[in-house]
Chain A
Amino acid sequence: MSKDSAHSTATGTDGRSDDTMSHAGPADRALLPTATGAETLAALRALLRGHRLLAVTAVSVLVTGTGIGLLTAPLLGHVVDLVVEQKGSRALTVPLVLLVVVALARGAATAVGSALVARLGETVLAALRERFVERALHLPLERVEEAGSGDLVSRVTGDVSMIAKSVRQALPEFTRSAFTIVLTFVGLAVLDWRFLLAALLAMPVQVLAARWYLRRAAPVYAEHRVATGALQHQLLDSVGGVRTVRAFRLNGLHVDLVEQRSRTAVDLALRGIHVVTGFFSRLNLAEFIGLSGVLVTGFVLVENGSVSIGTATAAALYFHSLFNPVNAALFLLDDAQSAGASLARLVGVSDLAVPADTDGREVPVDGAVKVSSLDYAYVPGRPVLRDVDLEVAGGERIALVGASGAGKTTLAKLIAGVHRPSGGTITLGGADAGELGPAGMRRTVSLISQEIHVFAGPLADDLRLARPEASDDELRAALSKVDALSWVDALPDGLATVVGEGGHRLTVTQAQHLALARLVLADPPIAILDEATADAGSAGARLLETAALKALEGRTGLVVAHRLPQAATADRVVVLDGGRVVETGTHEELVTTGGRYAELWTAWSDSRPGIARRGNEDGD
Chain B
Amino acid sequence: MPDGGPTGRHVLRGAITDQRRHVVAASLLGMGHQACEALVPVVVGVIIDDAVAKSSTDTLLRWLLVLAVLFLVLSTCYRTGARITEGVGERAAHRLRLDLGARVLDPRGGADADRLPGALTSIATNDARRVGSAVTVLSYGAAALAALAVSAVALLRISVPLGLLVLLGIPPLLWLGHRISGPLERRSETEQERAAHASGVAADLVAGLRVLKGMGAEPAAVSRYRRTSQDSLSAALRAARSRAGHEGAVLALTGVFIAVIGIVGAYLAMDGRISIGELVAAVGLAQFLLGPFQLLTYVNAEFAQGRASARRIAEVLAAPAAVEPGGAALPTPVAGRLRLRGVTLGTLRGIDLDFTPGTLTGVVTRDPAAARDLLLCLARESDPVEGVIELDGVALTGLDPDDVRRAVLVAAHDADLFETSLLDNVRAGKDAGVAELEPALTASAADDVAGLLPDGVDTVLAERGRSLSGGQRQRVALARALAADRPVLVLHDPTTAVDTVTESRIAARLREVRRGRTTVLVTTSPALLAVTDRVVVLDGGTVTANGRHAELVAGDEAYRAAVLA
Among A107, A416, A518, residue most surrounded by chain B Cβ atoms (within 10 Å): A107
Does B434 touch A at the CB level, under 8 Å? no
Does A333 touch B at the CB level, under 8 Å? no
Asked whether, in the complex, the Cβ of A455 is within 8 Å of the Cβ of B205, the reply is: yes
A95-B279 Cα distance, complex, nearest whole Å? 15
Does A6 touch B at the CB level, under 8 Å? yes
Interfacial chain A residues near B470, Cβ < 8 Å: 450, 531, 534-535
Does B291 touch A at the CB level, under 8 Å? yes
Among A137, A240, A357, residue most surrounded by chain B Cβ atoms (within 10 Å): A137
Asked whether, in the complex, the Cβ of B280 is within 8 Å of the Cβ of A254, the reply is: no
- Least CB distance from A515 to B in Å reads 7
**Interface size class of chain A, counting residues whose CB lies under 8 Å from the partner chain:** 35 or more
Does B34 touch A at the CB level, under 8 Å? yes
Asked whether, in the complex, the Cβ of A111 is within 8 Å of the Cβ of B249, the reply is: yes
Asked whether, in the complex, the Cβ of B463 is within 8 Å of the Cβ of A233, the reply is: yes
Interfacial chain B residues near A4, Cβ < 8 Å: 291
Asked whether, in the complex, the Cβ of A92 is within 8 Å of the Cβ of B201, the reply is: no
Q: Quick one: which of B12-46 are within 8 Å of A by CB? A: 30, 33-34, 37, 40-41, 44
Asked whether, in the complex, the Cβ of B137 is within 8 Å of the Cβ of A266, the reply is: no
Asked whether, in the complex, the Cβ of B48 is within 8 Å of the Cβ of A313, the reply is: yes
Does B53 touch A at the CB level, under 8 Å? yes
A10-B263 Cα distance, complex, nearest whole Å? 37
A461-B227 Cα distance, complex, nearest whole Å? 13
Asked whether, in the complex, the Cβ of B83 is within 8 Å of the Cβ of A274, the reply is: yes
Chain A 1-45 near chain B by CB (<8 Å), digits 1 or 0? 111111101100110010000000000000000000000000000
Asked whether, in the complex, the Cβ of B500 is within 8 Å of the Cβ of A563, the reply is: yes
**Contact status of A82 and B530, CB under 8 A, knowing A141-B210, A284-B75:** no
Interfacial chain B residues near A129, Cβ < 8 Å: 198-199, 202, 229
A153-B233 Cα distance, complex, nearest whole Å? 21
One of A191-199, A315-323, A426-434, A586-594 contacting the partner: A315-323
- Least CB distance from A61 to B in Å reads 11
A233-B117 Cα distance, complex, nearest whole Å? 11
A610-B553 Cα distance, complex, nearest whole Å? 8
One of B118-126, B166-174, B339-347, B351-359 contacting the partner: B118-126
One of A46-54, A211-219, A463-471, A551-559 contacting the partner: A463-471
Asked whether, in the complex, the Cβ of A446 is within 8 Å of the Cβ of B216, the reply is: yes
A562-B515 Cα distance, complex, nearest whole Å? 29
- Least CB distance from A335 to B in Å reads 17
Interfacial chain B residues near A604, Cβ < 8 Å: 500, 504, 527
**Contact status of A137 and B247, CB under 8 A, knowing A255-B101, A404-B448:** no
- Least CB distance from A234 to B in Å reads 8
Chain A 557-589 near chain B by CB (<8 Å), digits 1 or 0? 000001111000000000000000000000000
Asked whether, in the complex, the Cβ of B251 is within 8 Å of the Cβ of A465, the reply is: no
Asked whether, in the complex, the Cβ of B215 is within 8 Å of the Cβ of A518, the reply is: yes
Contact check: which of B203, B259, B267 meets A99 at CB < 8 Å?
B259
Asked whether, in the complex, the Cβ of B94 is within 8 Å of the Cβ of A266, the reply is: yes
Does A182 touch B at the CB level, under 8 Å? no
A138-B205 Cα distance, complex, nearest whole Å? 12
Does A407 touch B at the CB level, under 8 Å? no
A259-B523 Cα distance, complex, nearest whole Å? 38
Asked whether, in the complex, the Cβ of A168 is within 8 Å of the Cβ of B240, the reply is: yes
Does A479 touch B at the CB level, under 8 Å? no
Does A328 touch B at the CB level, under 8 Å? no
Asked whether, in the complex, the Cβ of B216 is within 8 Å of the Cβ of A134, the reply is: no
Asked whether, in the complex, the Cβ of B215 is within 8 Å of the Cβ of A609, the reply is: no
Does B187 touch A at the CB level, under 8 Å? no
A285-B72 Cα distance, complex, nearest whole Å? 8
**Contact status of A76 and B262, CB under 8 A, knowing A10-B133, A316-B280:** yes
Asked whether, in the complex, the Cβ of B55 is within 8 Å of the Cβ of A442, the reply is: no
Asked whether, in the complex, the Cβ of B564 is within 8 Å of the Cβ of A615, the reply is: yes
Asked whether, in the complex, the Cβ of A312 is within 8 Å of the Cβ of B82, the reply is: no
Interfacial chain A residues near B160, Cβ < 8 Å: none
Does A340 touch B at the CB level, under 8 Å? no
A76-B260 Cα distance, complex, nearest whole Å? 11
What is the predominant secondary structure among interface residues of chain B facing chain A? Answer: helix
Interfacial chain A residues near B48, Cβ < 8 Å: 298, 309, 312-313, 316
Interfacial chain A residues near B248, Cβ < 8 Å: 107-112, 114
Does B243 touch A at the CB level, under 8 Å? yes
Does B10 touch A at the CB level, under 8 Å? no
Contact check: which of A110, A251, A296, A457 meets B251 at CB < 8 Å?
A110
Interfacial chain A residues near B204, Cβ < 8 Å: 455-456, 500-501
A609-B500 Cα distance, complex, nearest whole Å? 16
A249-B108 Cα distance, complex, nearest whole Å? 11
- Least CB distance from B117 to A in Å reads 4
Interfacial chain B residues near A152, Cβ < 8 Å: 206, 209
**Contact status of A107 and B249, CB under 8 A, knowing A284-B78, A455-B208:** yes
One of B326-334, B391-399, B409-417 contacting the partner: B409-417
A538-B79 Cα distance, complex, nearest whole Å? 63
Q: Which residue of B lies closest to A136 (CB)?
A: B206
Contact check: which of B87, B102, B223, B368 meets A255 at CB < 8 Å?
B102
Interfacial chain B residues near A445, Cβ < 8 Å: 216
**Contact status of A83 and B523, CB under 8 A, knowing A100-B259, A103-B255, A449-B210:** no
**Contact status of A405 and B209, CB under 8 A, knowing A2-B33, A107-B249, A156-B202:** no
Asked whether, in the complex, the Cβ of B121 is within 8 Å of the Cβ of A114, the reply is: no
One of B1-9, B307-315, B491-499, B534-542 contacting the partner: B491-499
Asked whether, in the complex, the Cβ of A531 is within 8 Å of the Cβ of B496, the reply is: no
Interfacial chain A residues near B504, Cβ < 8 Å: 603-604, 606-607
Asked whether, in the complex, the Cβ of B523 is within 8 Å of the Cβ of A538, the reply is: yes
Interfacial chain A residues near B124, Cβ < 8 Å: 235, 239
Asked whether, in the complex, the Cβ of B107 is within 8 Å of the Cβ of A157, the reply is: no
Does B156 touch A at the CB level, under 8 Å? no
Asked whether, in the complex, the Cβ of A247 is within 8 Å of the Cβ of B411, the reply is: yes
Does B388 touch A at the CB level, under 8 Å? no
Asked whether, in the complex, the Cβ of B419 is within 8 Å of the Cβ of A239, the reply is: no
Interfacial chain B residues near A83, Cβ < 8 Å: 266, 269-270, 276, 279
Interfacial chain A residues near B136, Cβ < 8 Å: 10
Does A203 touch B at the CB level, under 8 Å? no
Q: Quick one: which of A449-496 are within 8 Å of B by CB? A: 449-453, 455-457, 461, 464-466, 468
A232-B67 Cα distance, complex, nearest whole Å? 47
Chain B 490-531 near chain A by CB (<8 Å), digits 1 or 0? 000100111111101001000000000000000111111110
**Contact status of A242 and B104, CB under 8 A, knowing A115-B244, A303-B55, A609-B554:** yes
Contact check: which of B41, B83, B195, B526 meets A320 at CB < 8 Å?
B41
- Least CB distance from B34 to A in Å reads 7
Q: Quick one: which of A241-288 are within 8 Å of B by CB? A: 241-255, 258-259, 262-263, 266, 269-270, 273-274, 277-278, 280-281, 284-285, 287-288
- Least CB distance from A373 to B in Å reads 25
Interfacial chain B residues near A122, Cβ < 8 Å: 233, 236-237, 240
Among A112, A248, A615, residue most surrounded by chain B Cβ atoms (within 10 Å): A248
Asked whether, in the complex, the Cβ of B67 is within 8 Å of the Cβ of A248, the reply is: no
Interfacial chain A residues near B67, Cβ < 8 Å: 288, 291-292
Contact check: which of A455, A534, A603 meets B496 at CB < 8 Å?
A534
Asked whether, in the complex, the Cβ of A538 is within 8 Å of the Cβ of B207, the reply is: no
Contact check: which of B224, B267, B507, B565 meets A607 at CB < 8 Å?
B507
Does A126 touch B at the CB level, under 8 Å? yes
Q: Quick one: which of B102-117 are within 8 Å of A by CB? A: 102, 104-107, 109, 112, 117
Asked whether, in the complex, the Cβ of B381 is within 8 Å of the Cβ of A246, the reply is: yes
Interfacial chain A residues near B298, Cβ < 8 Å: 7
Q: A160-B199, A292-B67, A501-B200 are in contact. List 6 more A-B contacts (CB 8 A).
A: A104-B255, A152-B209, A238-B105, A246-B405, A442-B217, A539-B368
- Which 7 residue pairs are nearest across A and B when measured between Cβ atoms? A103-B255, A107-B252, A111-B248, A442-B216, A118-B240, A241-B416, A99-B259
24 A-B pairs in the complex with CB atoms less than 8 angstroms apart: A3-B147, A14-B129, A76-B283, A96-B259, A103-B251, A103-B258, A118-B237, A118-B240, A123-B233, A129-B202, A161-B196, A235-B124, A241-B416, A246-B401, A246-B405, A247-B411, A258-B97, A274-B83, A278-B79, A295-B60, A403-B499, A453-B211, A564-B500, A608-B526
